[in-house]
C-alpha cells in the first residue's frame, strides 16, 4: 500500500511540475505579437506619432469602452493632442491566439490617465486584432469594455 501511495505522489508531482512549463510557453509568433502590444502601449504613453502610425493599419477601427469608435487618424490625433493622456499602462491576464497571419489578443488594461489635467485610473478589458504584413504585426482593430 505504501508503494502505491509513493508512486501516486511521484506521478502527481511530475504532472504538477510539467504543466506550468507547457502552459506558459510562447511560440515565436506569440512573442512577436506580445512585443508589438508592449511597443503599442509604450507609444500610447509617450504619444509617439511615428510609432503609432507604423503599428496601426490604415483601416484601423479603435473602439472605446464608451462605445465611441475612431479611425486611425482620430486615434492618433487624440493621443498626440493630449485629448487622451495615458501616463502609464499595465496589462495582465494576456492571451494570444494565432490563426495564420492574424492574432487575437485579450488582456486586462490598468492605466493611469490625466483627464483634463486631473489624474485618474481606468480598468478595461481589451480585445486587439493584429495582422502580419510584410513581417510586421499591424493593429487592425481594438475594442475595450469596462471591468468592475
HEC secondary structure over 93-148:
EEEEEEECCEEEEEEEEEEEEEECCEEEEEEEEEEEEEEEECCEEEEEEEEEEECC
* 5, part of any domain: no
What pLDDT shows up at residue 7?
Answer: 37
| CB-CB contact of 85 with 117 (8 Å) | no
Cα separation, 78 vs 70, in Å, equals 9
Q: Please tell me the pTM assigned to this model.
A: 0.81
Give the total number of structural domains in the chain.
Answer: 1
Higher pLDDT, 42 or 116: 42
Higher pLDDT, 3 or 87: 87
| CB-CB contact of 130 with 36 (8 Å) | yes
* 116, part of any domain: yes
Domain containing residue 89: 23-146
Q: Which CATH number is 128's domain given?
A: 3.10.450.50
Specify the long-range contacts of residues 62-67, CB closer than 8 Å, at least 24 apart: 62/141, 62/142, 63/141, 63/142, 63/143, 63/144, 64/144, 65/122, 65/124, 65/144, 65/145, 65/146
What pLDDT shows up at residue 82?
Answer: 82
* 94, part of any domain: yes
Q: Calculate mean pLDDT across residues 45-63.
A: 97
Residue 107 has pLDDT above 90, yes or no: yes
Give the pLDDT confidence of 110-126 residue by residue, as tens digits: 999 998 788 999 999 99
Split at pLDDT 50, 70, 90, the class of 84 is confident
* 13, part of any domain: no
Output the average pLDDT for the chain: 87
What pLDDT shows up at residue 3?
Answer: 57
* 11, part of any domain: no
Cα separation, 64 vs 66, in Å, equals 5
* 104, part of any domain: yes
Residue 1 has pLDDT above 70, yes or no: no
Residue 32 has pLDDT above 70, yes or no: yes
* 3, part of any domain: no
* 52, part of any domain: yes
Amino acid at each position: 500500500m505504501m508503494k502505491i501511495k509513493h508512486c501516486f505522489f511521484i506521478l502527481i508531482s511530475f504532472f504538477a511540475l510539467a504543466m506550468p512549463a507547457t502552459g506558459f510557453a510562447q511560440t515565436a509568433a506569440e512573442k512577436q505579437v506580445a512585443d508589438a502590444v508592449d511597443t503599442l502601449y509604450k507609444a500610447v504613453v509617450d504619444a509617439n506619432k511615428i510609432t503609432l502610425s507604423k503599428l496601426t493599419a490604415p483601416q484601423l477601427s479603435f473602439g472605446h469602452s464608451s462605445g465611441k469608435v475612431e479611425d486611425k487618424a482620430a486615434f492618433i490625433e487624440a493621443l498626440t493632442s493630449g485629448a487622451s493622456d495615458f501616463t502609464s499602462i499595465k496589462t495582465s491576464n494576456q492571451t494570444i491566439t494565432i490563426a495564420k497571419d492574424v492574432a487575437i489578443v485579450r488582456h486586462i488594461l490598468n492605466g493611469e490617465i490625466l483627464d483634463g489635467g486631473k489624474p485618474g485610473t481606468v480598468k478595461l478589458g481589451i480585445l486587439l486584432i493584429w495582422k502580419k504584413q510584410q513581417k510586421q504585426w499591424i493593429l487592425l482593430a481594438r475594442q475595450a469594455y469596462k471591468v468592475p
